[in-house]
Each structure stands twice: as structure tokens, then as C-alpha cells.
Amino acid sequence: GPKVVFLDEPSAGMDPVARRSMCDAIATASRGRAVVLTTHHLEEVEALANRVGIMVAGEFRCLGSLTHLKAKFGEGYWLEFRLPDKQKQAVMDFAEDRFGSLHVEESSPSFLKVKATQADLKLSTVFEQLEQTREALGIQDYAVSQPTLEQVFLNISEIEERQRMRSNTAQDSPTASNLQWIV
């Protein structure tokens, strides 16, 4: 069989069940070959991609692994903690000291969810720091997650929109119709 397969919007017009079957078939067929796939469906990117390129108005704007793009354009990590209410401030102080400015997304008596926005924060560093101080801070459980691909997409759209506004050319406007994922 061919060493490279090009697929341009293969799921256009498919219902979700057919799209899932198509993703399974592409994943199976891609073993031992390169597959270049264009799509507007982020779930296809998540399911199939190990490298992603984003095109705007026919030009590549970024290329990299999902992890790289999330780190570069995702603006930090989400940190979720299960902990006693009395420990919240200590955990907030610790997280802000280690991971930069925080945005509190959700807070209840035994739960805290914050977004750490430090740009150069490594996931391994986050886990290492949390594991070292987990017991001392009274953290019962925690989770760390990267932004979703949708958040990355929106951030890149905002960057492109700001650039378009600066250059004042409407042809580069990133809309859902001309921002495309290349897998």
C-alpha cells in the first residue's frame, strides 16, 4: 500500500456514529504509513493526530504535537484539589508561589479548581511540586489537566484576529470556515 495517504475532510456530512467508525478505520489503516488529514472536527484531531498543523486562510500558522500546541497556546494548566476548607488559602498561596498567577474557577467547602497561567510551566514540574507538598498541605486528591483543543483553537483565533486588526486586512480573518486542522 501507499506510504502516504491524503484525506481531505473525509467525515464531511457524516453523522457522529459514522465519524467514529471512520476514525477507527483511519487509525487502523495508518499503521506503517503517514496520513495527512484535513478536518474541522476537533474530536477527530484528538483521536487521530500525533502532529497537528493549523491553517488560516490557506497558510500554516502553527505545527506540533497536541501537547506542544496545548502548552504553547493553551495558557497554563487546570488544577483541581479535594481538600479541607481550612487548607484552601495555604494551597492557593503554595500554587501561586510555584505556578504563577491563578484564576479561581470553582470553590466549594472541599473542592478548589484554579487555572495556573504561567507560560513556561512544565507538567512534570507541576506533579513533582504537588507530590512533594501534598501531605503537608492536606491535599486529599488532585488532578492536573491541560486546556482542551477547543481552548487552543479559540486562543489561536484570538491571536489571528488581533493580527488581522493590526494589519487591517479582512482576508486573514480566522473564522470557523477558514481555520482548519491538518492532522
What is the C-alpha separation between 35 and 31, in angstroms, rounded?
9
Residue with the three cell numbers 512533594: 132
The dihedral through the CA atoms of 84, 90, 96, 102 has a sign that is: positive
Spell out the per-residue pLDDT of the chain, length 183, in tens: 899 999 999 999 999 999 999 999 999 989 999 999 999 888 899 889 999 998 776 778 889 998 888 878 887 888 999 999 999 999 999 999 998 888 899 999 999 999 888 767 788 889 999 999 999 999 999 999 888 888 888 888 888 888 888 887 545 455 544 555 555
pLDDT at 119: 66
Residues 61, 156 contacting (CB under 8 angstroms): yes
What is the C-alpha separation between 149 and 139, in angstroms, rounded?
28
Domain 4-71+169-182 matches domain 75-145 at the CATH topology level: no
Q: What is the DSSP letter of 101?
A: -
pTM for the structure as a whole: 0.62
Give the domain ranges of the chain. 4-71+169-182, 75-145
pLDDT at 180: 55
pLDDT at 46: 87
Distances (CA, A) of 73 to 22, 80, 88: 29, 21, 29
CATH architecture of 75-145: 2-Layer Sandwich (3.30)
pLDDT at 181: 56
CATH C-level class of 4-71+169-182: alpha beta
How, if at all, do strands 34-39 and 4-8 pair? parallel
What is the C-alpha separation between 64 and 52, in angstroms, rounded?
5
